[in-house]
A = this chain, B = another copy of it.
Amino acid sequence: MKLIKQARETIERYRMLRRGDRVLIALSGGVDSLSLLEVLSELRAELGLWLAIAHLDHQLRPGSAHDAELVRQIAQQHGLPAIIEAQNVPEYINSRHCSPEEGARQVRYRFLERAMRQLGANRIALGHNRDDQVETFLLRLIRGAGPAGLAGMPPVRGPFIRPLITCSRADILAFARQRHLSYCQDPTNRELGPLRNRVRQQLLPLLAGYNPQIRETLWRTQQLLGQLDRDLEALARPLLARATLVTRPGELLLDKQALAEQPDSLKLQTLRAALRQVRGDLRGIEAVHLEALLAEFKRRRSGAQIELPGGWLGVNRGAKFLLTRAAPSAPEPPDSGEYSLRVPGETVLPSLGWRFRTTLDRLDHSAAALRFSEPERRLEIALDYAKIKKPLAVRLRRQGDRFHPLGMQGTKKLQDFFVDEKLPRSERDRTPLLVDRSGIVWVVGWRLDEAYKLEATTRQVLHIRAALLSA
């Protein structure tokens, strides 16, 4: 009963549910989500709830269809409507070049939101517990995060609620044993990334050797950071209202002057709030993106644009700052990791860690001949603009990339080029490629493609300067 009491308190404290709410329970079949179902079923009458179940068979491992069948039976036993779907997550992951966890997460959340609409629900209940929270804290700490990231999964965000977020895994297991719940043997455990598994199995035990209460201690720190994050949000709300000049679907224009007096943390928080308002959420937005936005926001000179995940842009307009959906002329959906380049102008790509400046000039043939006589490593380059099959974009390497290195005979696999140039493996995956519709134009910092070089016939020259965003 302890678990039910604790969940009820959490629901009240974070105002997760109101009488008449229609709640979709994300049921993986593991012990957390099954306990969540049990808890919410028990509170259903008291809280005046309508319940349903959603399950995604992500096909990431052989047994997944069996779990889906178990969930179907459980829904029947409870007499609850259920949406159970299979999706080819492995294929999704391959096509998006993302990690298995990230891919599974994306597909899962989109599925849940769709299922919510289909069933006319207005809340989605997730089974995350306090131990998940603490592991997430450590994961983000290891990968790098600011205060907001460390604050962890919020108890409530949009329609998503986490009624078990203050309950420990031990309490959930005890509850499941007591209720004789039969659950899938940790199906989620196998979905865990290798790093999360190591955090759980190596790091937390080591830390517990230093402080037996380490989970409670980290949880407490996380709560303080969460409180701070919510407070900063509250402070940013009136600031955003004051700074907003124009707001319409897909566009938000800010007055920099209105925030001039505020410290950086509040400027940043206001930019976050603005982005969330115009974009709907902050999915995919990382510390690097926010830092790049802030740095540009503080710069007076207008012109640069910052590419943000999901096809959004931050555009510096001197005394104003525009957040906008990228123009539909972008070469591909930005989820592909391909970022369009502004010509002429400045483009900041926080995801890749690079900034590009482009200018268009008439060609001075004598200077050009001097500057491109040898294919040495450089971050500044000039091309024959007429030869480019627009639009220009920047991306990282993909399987099968080839190009024709300047000064060589014929094309070469990019992989072989990198090996010959003795580029360390870690750098190969981080080197940006300038591409047009027909392929690689410039391996940034390494070599131009022969087809785009300046020639006697060149009239208009495109200058590109690339620079690493400072660490």
Contacts and interface: CB of A to CB of B under 8 A. Distances in A.
Contacts of A221: 141, 144-146, 150
A61 interface: no
Interface string A187-208: 0000000010011001100110
B232 A265 contact: yes
A246 interface: no
A241 interface: no
B143 A266 contact: no
A69 interface: no
Interface in A142-159: 142-147, 150
B142 A264 contact: no
Interface string A213-239: 010111011001101101110110000
A147 B263 contact: no
Contact of A264 (B202, B210, B231): B231
A273 B87 CA distance: 55
B142 A224 contact: no
B231 A263 contact: yes
A287 interface: yes
Given A150-B221, A202-B206, A227 B265 contact: yes
A231 B264 CA distance: 7
Contacts of A266: 231, 235
A217 B144 contact: yes
A260 interface: no
Interface of A is mostly: helix
Nearest to A199: B210
B224 A146 contact: yes
A266 B210 CA distance: 32
B287 A224 contact: yes
A471 interface: yes
A88 interface: no
Q: How large is the interface on A (under 10, 10 to 19, 20 to 34, 35 or more residues)?
A: 35 or more
Contact of A228 (B147, B207, B218): B147
B263 A220 contact: no
A317 B403 CA distance: 76
Contacts of A142: 207, 210-211, 214, 217
Interface string A328-354: 000000000000000000000000000
Contacts of A206: 202-203, 206
Nearest to A230: B263
A350 to B, nearest CB: 14
27 contacts: A141-B217, A141-B218, A142-B210, A142-B211, A143-B211, A144-B211, A144-B217, A144-B220, A144-B221, A145-B221, A146-B221, A146-B224, A147-B147, A147-B224, A150-B221, A202-B206, A203-B206, A216-B471, A220-B471, A228-B228, A228-B265, A230-B263, A231-B263, A231-B266, A232-B265, A234-B263, A235-B266
Interface of A: 141-147, 150, 195, 198-199, 202-203, 206-207, 210-211, 214, 216-218, 220-221, 224-225, 227-228, 230-232, 234-235, 263-266, 287, 471
Closest 4 CB pairs of A and B: A231-B263, A231-B265, A146-B224, A144-B217
